[in-house]
Chain A
Amino acid sequence: MLSQFDYIKPLVLDDALTFLAEHEQTYILAGGTDLIIMLNKNMIDAKYILDIKYIPDLDVFKFTEGEGLEIGANVTVNELAECDVVQTKYKALCEAASVLATEQLRNRATLVGNICNASPGADLPPSLLIYDATVKIASVKGERIVPLREFFTGVKKTQLNKDEIVVSVFLPDPGKKDDSIYLRQTRLRGHDLSTVGVACRLKGDGKVAIAINAVAITPLLLSDLSNQLNAKGLSEESILWASEEIKKHIKPITDVRASKEYRLHMAGILLKRCLAQLTGKEV
């Protein structure tokens, strides 16, 4: 490791924000499963590492009936996967959290870190997008709330400014009779990034929401496709239509994990499987 950094451990959010605003080359450390790889590989030159794990405000992990679930920046992926509320109310998120990387990494990695790293293939964003997640961002200037669908701006790029910290992610209460699923394709069973991953939600009113990763420069909430499908109504015919139509809404590339053509094909297959499982229809 070439970086010669000081390790800073604030105990109050305001102190962390002030430090961040006043010091260049400061990197925020939560789980570290992306940051420390970048340090080990000398991909970044850090002067300060700002460890936010000792800030109690960022530990928030609370569900309020009728309102929703707030997931603080220090909540790890395994804490998420093991949480009763997530298991029952946000199934797709639980499924995504359970398959992300490995047991060792899930014990360190955080949900907020996963979105801030902004990998187009990250496992958690599709399952957050279908629940209309919002991101609470803080800086010395104050707080702002951004819909997650506007948070990602490109490959490994987000709306987050250098002096800002993501405090938490909020998922509205989906209510009863809501169901969801996350299915992904990987090259091997076990530890791999997704080649394509699709999250679908069937809401209490019978409408669906669809989101997908690894097929564009950012994870995508496919609102237009969902609206068109909802207008048609869910049937075997419309599910088959959507599994073809989805190819017009995504722009995958060919890389080490898969070809563009394979991703287009699998996006359709996974969407079909998701909708079939959610609706109990045989397609």
Chain B
Amino acid sequence: MSTLAANAPGVAGSGLEDVAASEASLRRFLHGLPGVDQVGLEARAATLGTRSIKTTAKAYAIDLAISMIDLTTLEGADTVGKVRALCTKGRTPDPTDPTTPRVAAICVYPDMVATAKAALRGTDIQVASVATAFPAGRAALPVKLADTADAVAAGADEIDMVIDRGAFLSGRYLDVYNEIVAVKEACRRPDGSYAHLKVIFETGELQTYDNVRRVSWLAMLAGADFIKTSTGKVAVNATPPVTLLMLEAVRDFRAATGVQVGVKPAGGIKTTKDAMKYLVMVNETLGDDWLSPHWFRFGASSLLNDLLMQRQKLTTGRYSGPDYVTVD
């Protein structure tokens, strides 16, 4: 079952082409990756969290963070009206200040893609759609592929898929790999281009950092354009150490293959202070090459208003309040 694997982009010439040739070779490779010491990883993330970002650096980082947001609504109660309102918020996050950057993308369920696409016409804001039976991913492969194709057909620029955590935890790595490859293929448009594929690991369910490093490599080998921590629907979502580990993984993957992959922490990032910590991690682990919405995103909703309030504070010198940012 390696015909699909041949489609994985960028790995050619790196010596990693045959890694997914069999279940055994993929397992050998993933289990041969360096281990992760939990205490050391968490200590490093905590230390980076003590960086003090002030004045001009803060202004830069706030605008960068706004521009990296995948502004998200993923509720059973979502309506056309709700999605349109969110799109408006994404286009003009702060109506009182036109210098405020736009968000990177609006993230919705597949049936809302067309609505979002229409509402964002004329902007360069991307429409991201979750797919593959998000958030649990517990559906048959054809259903997941149809879910994906449907979203792409409706105009989605980006697909946020979930991996089969059950398969991963039971050691069926090749199944996970093949599913990503298949979903990537379902992202293909009639003109031959591809919707951008973000692969969600649900790291809170994988629990160990060794698992997170392995699944990061697995997804990148399978052709992920972005690797993403979480759905936002479980108890433990993005954390600084998990994200730091994934940043290290994309760094090492590029060194090994030349292919650059983006990272998206999602869920639980609510404050400007949180966002600063993530940007510091990107800055000190990966540097300038990843400091752009092309390569780093925040999956968030309430984060935007906190960034806007902090932005107003920098402009006016006064602390803002929730009555002075819009609720959508």
Question: A and B from one assembly?
Answer: no
- Chain A residues within CB distance 8 Å of chain B: none
- Chain B residues within CB distance 8 Å of chain A: none
